Structures are given as structure tokens and as C-alpha cells.
Amino acid sequence: MLLEQFRWSARHVKAASALLTRVALGAVFLQSGLAKISHHAMTLTFFANLGFGRATPLVSVAIPWIEFLCGMALVGGVLSTVASFLLIADMTVAILVANPEVAVDIFKLLRFYDFLYILLLMGLIAYGPGLYSISTLVTRFALNSRRNELIANQQR
């Protein structure tokens, strides 16, 4: 009895931590992407100053929308692994292009928010979106439907 309660508690603590991590990161990227989308002229100037050259118009549109859409995906727990990979690429470029001095100093890197976001996103990739996500609900529904179908076929 006690062991079952512990297993239930551990499972839900893990699920709650995945939910909180996903929602917090999703909110950060939603806000960041929305700010860049709503102030496109400033975003264009910012990326031009980073030295993207002729790719600046593309980058100034792609990065904000990636952050916004992936943030939404993380909040809902839909395609969270794909969203996490895209955001890791986004944060890696941010570190290497905008702050190259941080990339070579491990002590600066460990205090840098973009690197911490990368670590949290890697955790989401490793452990998945958790029990409280749309992906998990859809998967459970599909598995239950398939199981019920198999049971019905066996009874015929």
C-alpha cells in the first residue's frame, strides 16, 4: 500500500515538474517572440547590427515566429520535443552570434540565461512533456481506442 502511494506520488511530482518547466519556458519564449513580432522594425535593426547581412530580413521574421510558435507548443505540450530542438538551435545561435565572449568562458556561460534555457529544454527532450500535456492525452486516447478495437475483434 505504501509503495503504491509512493509510486503514485513520484509519478505526479515528475509530471508536475515537467508541466511547470514546460509552461515557464513556453511563457518566456511566447513573450520574447511576441515582443519581437510586435516591434518588427526594432527587431530588424537588432539583427542587422548582429551582422546577418542579406539574411537579416529572413532571420528577423523567422526567429520571432519560431520563438512564439514553439512557446505555444511548449505551453500546450504539443510537439514539445520538436519545439525544444528548434529553441535549442535558436538559443545556440543567440549565444554564438550575439555573445561570442560568453561561449568561450564556462563561468560566464553558466550564468547566462540562454544557456540555462538550453539545459532546461534538453531536460524536456530527455523526459518528455509529462502526463499533463496534449500529446500525452492524444496518445492515451489513441491507445485506448486501439485496445478497445482489438478487444471487440477478439469477441467476434
Examine residue 59 and state whether it is found in any structural domain, yes or no.
yes
pLDDT digits (tens, 9 = 90+) for 1-36: 556 665 667 777 888 888 899 999 999 999 999 999
Domain membership of residue 41 (yes or no) is: yes
Torsion sign (Cα): 44, 50, 56, 62? negative
How many whole angstroms separate alpha carbon 24 and alpha carbon 70? 13
User: Domain range holding 62?
Assistant: 11-155
Domain count, the chain: 1
pTM: 0.80
Q: Which of 19-28, 68-77, 134-143 has the lowest mean pLDDT?
A: 134-143
pLDDT of residue 150: 63
Specify if 2 maps to a domain. Answer: no
Confidence of residue 104 (pLDDT cuts 50, 70, 90): confident
Do the domain assignments include residue 36? yes
> Which pLDDT belongs to residue 1?
59
Residue 90 in grid coordinates: 535558436
Kindly report the CA angle at 41 between 96 and 102, in degrees rounded to 5?
15
Say if 1 falls within a structural domain: no
CA distance 103 to 96: 6
Structural domain contains residue 16:
yes
CB of 49 within 8 A of CB of 97?
A: no
- Is 3 inside a domain boundary? no
Over range 31-47, report the average pLDDT: 90
